[in-house]
């Protein structure tokens, strides 16, 4: 009997500890990016879709897979084509080969991650409102200095 409980517990733990599929996580991050670009809360998006903010949160993390009809609804509410959610998606080949995007992929992912963060989005929005090129250059140099770069790039 104890062995049956262990087997049952193991299967339950495995199901609860499920990691997000990379494509589900990517699509969810694109939902989050677009929602944040629009200045929309998870709660507001959920209301428009008939979901709770917790369900939106799970979609954005890739924990819950977004079905075709829900993806269509998301595209309508967020005012983007469905393809937007797949733009810059990780390669479908899970072999781990380095053939696609050898040097560029990690940097692109870093930029998307940065722009998907609240700080990155706020910094980007504020930066584009600076119209004086000299001030923009000074901001870039300040950030480089704070980051510990020498500015030779």
* Predicted pLDDT at 42: 93
Query: In this structure, are residues 3 and 32 in contact, taking their beta carbons and an 8 Å threshold?
Result: no
Query: In this structure, are residues 37 and 29 in contact, taking their beta carbons and an 8 Å threshold?
Result: no
- Which residues lie below 8 Å from residue 88, measured CB to CB, with a gap of 6+? 26, 108, 112
* Predicted pLDDT at 96: 43
pLDDT 10s digits, 1-31 = 544 444 444 444 444 456 778 899 999 989 9
Q: 3-class SS at 153? A: coil
* Predicted pLDDT at 150: 65
Output DSSP code: residue 37. Answer: H
* Predicted pLDDT at 92: 67
Average pLDDT for 131-152 = 84
pLDDT 10s digits, 36-93 = 888 899 999 999 999 999 999 999 999 999 999 999 999 999 999 999 999 888 776 4
- Which residues lie below 8 Å from residue 55, measured CB to CB, with a gap of 6+? 46, 64
Higher pLDDT, 132 or 10: 132
Q: Take residue 74 and report the two structure tokens written for it.
A: 């998301």
- Which residues lie below 8 Å from residue 94, measured CB to CB, with a gap of 6+? 22
**Cα 142 → chain centroid:** 27
User: In three state form, how does the secondary structure of 50-76 look?
Assistant: CCCHHHHHHHHHCCCCCCHHHHHHHHH
* Predicted pLDDT at 89: 83
Domains recognised in the chain with CATH numbers: 2-88 (1.10.260.40)
pLDDT at residue 144 above 60?
yes
- In 3D space, the residue among 105, 46, 116, 104 whose CA is nearest the CA of residue 74 turns out to be 46
């Amino acid at each position: 009997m104890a062995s049956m409980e262990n087997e049952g517990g193991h299967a339950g733990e495995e199901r609860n500890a499920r990691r997000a599929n990379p494509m589900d996580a990517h699509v969810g991050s694109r939902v989050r990016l677009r929602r944040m670009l629009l200045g929309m809360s998870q709660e507001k998006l959920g209301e428009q879709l008939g979901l709770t903010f917790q369900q939106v949160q799970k979609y954005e993390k890739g924990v819950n897979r977004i079905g075709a009809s829900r993806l269509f609804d998301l595209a309508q509410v967020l005012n983007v084509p469905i393809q937007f959610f797949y733009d810059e998606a990780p390669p479908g080949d899970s072999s781990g080969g380095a053939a696609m995007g050898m040097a560029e992929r990690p940097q692109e992912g870093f930029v998307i991650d940065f722009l998907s963060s609240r700080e990155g989005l706020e910094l980007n929005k504020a930066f584009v409102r600076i119209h004086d090129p000299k001030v923009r250059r000074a901001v870039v140099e300040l950030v480089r200095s704070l980051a510990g770069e020498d500015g030779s790039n």
